[in-house]
Structure 1
Amino acid sequence: MLVADALPRRADVVVIGAGVFGAATAFHLAEAGVDVVVVERGDFCSEASGANVGLVSLSPRPPGLMADLCRHATDLYEALSDRLGREVHFQPTGVIRVGMTEESLADVIDWAERQRSVGIEVDVLSGEELRELEPLLPEGVLGGCHTPRGGFVSPFAVVAGYLERARELGATLVPMTTVTGITVRGGRVVSVDTTRGRIETDAVVNAAGAWAGEVSAMVGLHTPITPIRGQVLVTEPIAGLPHRVVMGISPSIRSTWAANGIIGSIQEDAGFEKRVTLAVMRDFARGITEMYPHLREVQVIRAWSGLRPKTPDQMLILGESEQVPGFVVATGGFDIGMMLGPAVGEVVADVVLGRTPRFDLTPARLDRFAA
């Protein structure tokens, strides 16, 4: 991926964070002709956007803003490779949600009815019917539902695709650079200080994920984010994995476009500790081989972790601060950030550009956490 050799002295917008929220926002801004700089403290896609299994689902949340964004993001993912001019490896497998106990099955059926109420196609099926659809489901599945739309993407390909296309449209990408301060003058953002120098700007998008609270504090705002660690294992290329997305089984496993197995993920409140832990890796291996005994001899080739940004109410934080005009926050994707990314990037760009977003973002406003 091409990156900037020098930090520009000025930009219309500075996006802080190069995960899927920041990358998608930068693309939409650059597409609109905005001079945008993306600043990333590490490498691109090195945090939560890189530590997930790439699930795309129409609605993993109850009806409301999050569900609306998921449905729109699915629409965008289905056409994203063409839009960006590079492959993001979207696999339209459909999604199966299963119940392993009578209680969890009742929850799945209730979920299916709620999705039907907002027009999503969902079929409720018995365990036998699900195994006819997906023969590699474990025998312990009592029943569940099937949604024909949805699937998987390659998280790294998605983020790289957005950033590469944004750069082609004029965006500047600045990795391995930490934001050290944001200057507010006359009540508005006027510049961003980094370890490589200062950028004068009219607007900042805080897409710093688990570190969004630290960035907001630079302008005197409270953004309550808890980092939640997720861990992922990747195996050698293998055959004999479920073709479709399967939700409701932990740990989950899926096949990538290159036939590798991706196993994950867990949710751990471990502060900002990112290390991969042997105990979790063993639990993953034990759980997967109990469900799929034929995988016992499969080799693990790598493992990694990332910190997912969780808000107190598990709702996104999206929109411009009323206290500091020009400061826009886009964080809180938690365990479905990659799923939401294309839709979040679109609506956040609308906010920056002064356009009315496709969806009412009131439930996601930052000031809901004001004391």
Structure 2
Amino acid sequence: MSTALQGAGPGPTLSRSADLVIVGAGVVGAAAAYFAALAGRRVVVVDRGAIAGGTSSAGEGNLLVSDKEAGPELDLALYSQAVWREDLAEHAGLWEFEAKGGLVVAATEHSVAGLRELSVHQRASGVEVHDVGHSALHEYEPHLSKDLAGAAFYPQDAQVQPMLVVAHLLRLARGLGATVRTGTEVTGFLRSGDRVTGVRSTAGDIPAGAVLNAAGTWAGEVAALAHVAVPVRPRRGFVLVTEPMPPRTVRHKVYAAEYVGDVASSDAALQTSPVVEGTDSGTILIGASRERVGFDRTVSVPAISTLAAKAVALFPMLREVRLMRTYHGFRPYCPDHLPVIGADPRAPGLWHACGHEGAGIGLSAGTGKLIAQALTGGQPDLDLTPFAPDRFTDRTQDAEEAVS
């Protein structure tokens, strides 16, 4: 069969073909590149911007199990934890891996009861959780408000510096033979009949045995070039950064119990739930907000002021701490709150790894390894069926667009 292009006009063919072209040089694309190259595949990563230029540069670097209810996403989170701590353990220092643990706090006895109920199901899935009563809270965090009723401590929660993860995983992948092309936009797909056989880009055509769509919040646009629908939408979030404080002023990742509900919500309006943690440099990071406003990059004073007020309610000493800066970005959101991972039967040769929303940093390691296993013909360690790219019906997509 002849090779035909879908989505762009003719262009030169680059000298190097690949087993796998990855569209997106963020954390998910970087993890997939590393594990695919480790498996002996010839990998080319392309991104229209810079390395970690999208969502990966706008988050806190969470590796969480605490915020996930029992089900496929928690299974993926636990699997990813094992990949971070075992497969990638020798490189942990490169991206400042810190097993700090997470403390989920509740303001009322009713909220404490909800935490206890959640933890029962999480424990059954393999999560380690310790119930923390009111009297023990200050052993974990001396500066916490005295008005809190209780908490749950999750020792498996951890932290990384996300931009360092991306940079070093891509560096390691290049050491295994991969190529990374930034400033290179994908404009279409090469096809042989129905099968995707590479990409057309602003730098020329790149023939490939498979193409992985790891384009984050723009994954829906990339999928549309192949005439398949993947309903990934942007969800804006802000992070506040304080002036440096003494070491271990905040010892763990600390967040309010309502954060779990906000993560699972499909509400388009602004939602804020306090997430507070310290860094090695002494600065304190404060999140998290969520709102669906498209790609509007306007700085939201209501979001920032609400986050600040809720952080002070958790840690009253923050009232006297100066805010140094804020930053924000867009989480790749899917309507059922599950990422899209695996081969797309609607366009053979096209694969997806996208839609992880705010959990992308933590889930990236497991996602990358699973994609590499499936691409090389092996049986993935985790069943990818719940993450299937073609699981969305037209009705699901229409409902999502109606509230966007």
Question: Using the alignment, how far apart are the partners of 1:53 and 1:47 within structure 2?
Answer: 13
Q: Is the 8 A contact 1:52 1:265 kept in 2?
A: no
Question: Using the alignment, how far apart are the partners of 1:63 and 1:293 within structure 2?
Answer: 33
Question: Using the alignment, how far apart are the partners of 1:103 and 1:179 within structure 2?
Answer: 51
Call closer, same or farther: CA 1:291–1:310 in 2, change over 3 Å.
Answer: same
Question: Using the alignment, how far apart are the partners of 2:55 and 2:324 within structure 1?
Answer: 20
Name structure 2 gaps, 5 residues minimum: 1-12, 258-272, 395-404
Question: Using the alignment, how far apart are the partners of 1:86 and 1:168 within structure 2?
Answer: 18
TM-score by length of structure 1 reads 0.92
1:151 counterpart = 2:158 = yes
Q: Is the 8 A contact 2:197 2:207 kept in 1?
A: yes
1:308 counterpart = 2:331 = yes
Aligned to 1:218: 225
1:138 counterpart = 2:139 = no
Aligned to 1:327: 350
Question: Using the alignment, how far apart are the partners of 2:304 and 2:349 within structure 1?
Answer: 43
Shift of 1:216: 0.7
Q: Is the 8 A contact 2:66 2:102 kept in 1?
A: no
Call closer, same or farther: CA 1:72–1:59 in 2, change over 3 Å.
Answer: farther
1:280 counterpart = 2:280 = no
Give the SS at the match of 1:87: helix
Q: Is the 8 A contact 1:97 1:144 kept in 2?
A: yes
**353-362 or 45-54, larger mean C-alpha shift:** 45-54
1:241 counterpart = 2:249 = yes
Name structure 1 gaps, 5 residues minimum: 1-5
Q: Number of matched residues? A: 366
Find 1:347's aligned residue among 366, 370, 373: 370
Aligned to 2:392: 369
Question: Using the alignment, how far apart are the partners of 1:221 and 1:345 within structure 2?
Answer: 22
1:317 counterpart = 2:325 = no
1:253 counterpart = 2:276 = yes
Q: Is the 8 A contact 1:86 1:161 kept in 2?
A: no
Shift of 1:85: 7.4
Aligned to 1:42: 49
Shift of 1:252: 1.4
Shift of 1:302: 3.2
Question: Using the alignment, how far apart are the partners of 2:131 and 2:316 within structure 1?
Answer: 28
Q: Is the 8 A contact 1:80 1:88 kept in 2?
A: no
**356-365 or 235-244, larger mean C-alpha shift:** 235-244
1:181 counterpart = 2:181 = no
Q: How does 1:75-224 map to 2 (within 5 A)?
A: 75-79=82-86, 82-84=89-91, 87-224=94-231
**235-244 or 322-331, larger mean C-alpha shift:** 235-244
Find 1:18's aligned residue among 25, 43, 63: 25
Question: Using the alignment, how far apart are the partners of 1:348 and 1:148 within structure 2?
Answer: 27
Q: Is the 8 A contact 1:20 1:45 kept in 2?
A: yes
Partner amino acid, structure 2, of 1:31 = L
Shift of 1:361: 0.9
Call closer, same or farther: CA 1:81–1:29 in 2, change over 3 Å.
Answer: closer
Shift of 1:233: 2.1
Shift of 1:297: 4.6
Question: Using the alignment, how far apart are the partners of 2:124 and 2:33 within structure 1?
Answer: 35
Question: Using the alignment, how far apart are the partners of 2:80 and 2:242 within structure 1?
Answer: 28
Deviations 1:8-38 (A, max 9, x none): 5422111011111111000001111211111
Question: Using the alignment, how far apart are the partners of 1:351 and 1:136 within structure 2?
Answer: 47
Aligned to 2:59: 52
Give the SS at the match of 1:14: strand
